[in-house]
Structure formats: C-alpha cells, structure tokens
Amino acid sequence: MEKLVIEGGQKLRGEISVSGSKNATLPVLAATLLTDKPCVIHNVPRLRDTLTMIKLLRSLGKSAVLEGDKVIVSKPTTSYVADYKLVSTMRGSFCVFGPLLAKFRQASVSLPGGCVIGIRPVDLHIKGVMGLGAKIHVESGYVHAKANKLKGTYIYLGGTFGSSVLATANVMMAATLASGVTIIDSAACEPEVVDLGNFLNAMGAEVMGHGTPQITVRGVKSLHGAEYKIGPDRIEAGTYVLMAAATKSDITIKNLNPTHIMALLHHVQEAGVSYKQKGHTVKITSRKNLKPVSLTTYPYPGFPTDLQAQFMALMATTPGVSVITEKVFPDRFIHIAELNRMGAKIRREGYSAIIEGVKSLYGAPVMASDLRASAALVIAGLAAKGRTEIHRIYHLERGYENMDEKLRGLGAKVWKEKE
C-alpha cells in the first residue's frame, strides 16, 4: 500500500490535460454486454475502477483488452451473474444489471459497494426494470431479476434526492432490447448519460432525448458492435480548477468541455478567480484575497456533488464564512474531520457544512475516506504549509489517472511512498 506525500505552498504553472470520463466509461463498457459483436472504446482512463469493470466483463464471458487508452471488447456474453467480489468494490459496476437483463431476460447482480459517502440504495434501478416487466427479489446480497418479456412503458425515475445517473443508465440499456417504446421521465441529464446514449445509438439502438429530463427509447431486436470515444472527465477538470484556485496559481487545462463545468466556473468566478475559455481549453488565474461563496449541490446542470469536497477545501483557506449544503448525498461530509486536522474550521449542521476560512492550512497525516474526499485532501495539501501525508490513496486512484505525475508537471512537490 502507498501514501501520497505533498510539500505544500508551491505555485502551479503550466498545462495539464484531462483524461477520459470515468463515470462515462463504466456504463459504456457495461453496454458492450448487449451485443456479441466486437466493440472498441477509446479515451478510456487507466484507473482502478475501469480495471475492475474490465475484470467484471471478463467474468461474464467477454474478452476485454486494455491497450493504452483503448479497450477492445469481443466474444459473447455467457453469464448473467455479476459476482460479489467485483461488484462489492465499486458501485458503478451495478450498471451491468440493465444490459444483463436485456440480454438474458434475467440477471443476478450483487448489491454494490464503493465509497463510504452515505446510503445509496438501488431502489430506482429496481423500480425502472420492474416497469419494463421484470420480477425482482433480493436474496443473500444479490438482486435477482427475471422477465419472460421486456415491454416498453412510461417510467418515472425521480427519487428523494433527484434523478439517478446509474438508474437512468440501467433502464436505458434494458429498454434498448425491449419491445415497444419506453419513456424515462425525470431522467438524469448528466454528460455521462449523453455519452451512453450516443454509444447505444452507435450500436444500432434508438435512443432520443438523452441529456434532457425525458428520454425515449424505441426497442430494437438486436444491437451490433461499435467504435466510440469517451468524452473528457468533468470532475477531474473541476478538481484541477480548484487546485489552481486554492494555490493562487495560473494553469491551463486542456481537453475538457467547459459547458460541463459551468456551475463550478460560475462559483469560482464569484470567489474572485478568473478564467478564459477557448474551445476545449480553459486558463485559470487565481490571485490573493478570494471571497467566501456559499452553494448547494444539485443534479446536473447544478453544482456537482462530486466537487463538493474539493470546493470545501478551497473555502477552508478563504477568509470569511461560507456554507455548503449537500442535496444529493446528505451524508457526504466525512472529509470535514480530516480537513480540520490540517487547521480548517468546519462544522456540520444537518445537510450543511459551515466553513470559517483560515489564513493557512498546515500539513498533517490524513486519511482518505472516499474518492472525492481524497482529492479534497490533495487540494488542501497543495495549499498548506509543510508536509502532508495522505493515506489510503487507492481511493484517489479509483478516479484520477496519474494525478501525481500530472501535478509534478505543474511544479508541485508530490510523490508516492510505500506505507
């Protein structure tokens, strides 16, 4: 096991490139289960999560080979049982549920695991496929689904805390091989859903409205192979924006879609950070005397919950009081305790965190509790005085490709050490 060591207080300068989207890659790879024909997926980030999904595809009969940033998937899908050992390590792997059900008219998928950021039930996934005609029972830690026939219908997918990206993905994939037309209302609008819809259409599906709250899927008899390029990771891009802001640095971020992070760019601009956008490049300029900003997380196009922890790290070093309210995963505040170990003054009140910005954070040994919390600790470590050691960085490696190398390219003093 390794830890990440950061010598803080360094200005960042130069250019950094964003990798392919992890949260788009996982359902796109899962969608290859819908066909026995070869598929080639480009711009795949080499991450723990994508490697886990590749292992899961292999366990289901597929040949899946990672060559550089390309995954070649071939051979028929032969099993409808997604094993606990793989699914329990990564929540995103539950997106094999929909395509397995569509392919075999039955599926047995372990209840998922992943980051410890609060209860994340699969009730919307179950509701969606039941609407298509599947019968469900949960037993021994597995969700079992079976259907003689999947039939298109109207499905409302709104949940207590808004729409669900993975539930939307599962129902979209299951509906591609159902008879008739499926309308998914209160669907997730995230760019990752757009990527999936585009890939399904490249396979011969008839998906319309992806990226809007209402998606229409006209079922087809079969899908063929396809070649597709994954879009850039908006959460990685946003994390680098916040790193520049927290370290009062000027950096250029390449290979991103600025429209995907407009909520973030609006809020950092409100704090006093300036940016210039040109095509798929954004230049961030951060100076002293930033202002506190309060925000609330919402499903896309609102401020993303996956950048909440990182924005909190920025506000922790911004004098004044800010309030961050979490409306997507209300228990996603485990990082508060670790940021406070570094000198931050943050307290939780219900669904909100109250941040009293301090002049400086100080390096300390800290523990990563989940993927985005680990990124917040990296931001805090870069901005802090002294040495920070982040333990359990396997969380970070689930979602950020070669972050230490990319940061060294910007002049940061960061490296890995054996525990």
**Which residues are tagged catalytic?**
115
Question: Any residues with CB less than 8 A from the CB of 418 and at least 6 apart, and which?
Answer: 1, 2, 3
Three-state secondary structure string covering 382-393: HHCECEEEEECC
Q: Which of 321, 276, 291, 309 is nearest to 379 (CA)?
A: 309
Instruction: Give the single-character DSSP code of 169.
Output: H
Q: Which of 279, 276, 221 is nearest to 250 (CA)?
A: 276
Residue 388 and residue 363 in contact, taking contact as beta carbons nearer than 8 Å: yes
Distance CA 354, CA 324 (A): 7
Altogether, the residues listed in the chain come to a count of: 419
Element (H, E) at 346: strand 345-349
Distance CA 83, CA 89 (A): 11
Surface-to-core class of residue 288, CB atoms within 10 Å of its CB (0-12 exposed, 13-18 middle, 19+ buried): exposed
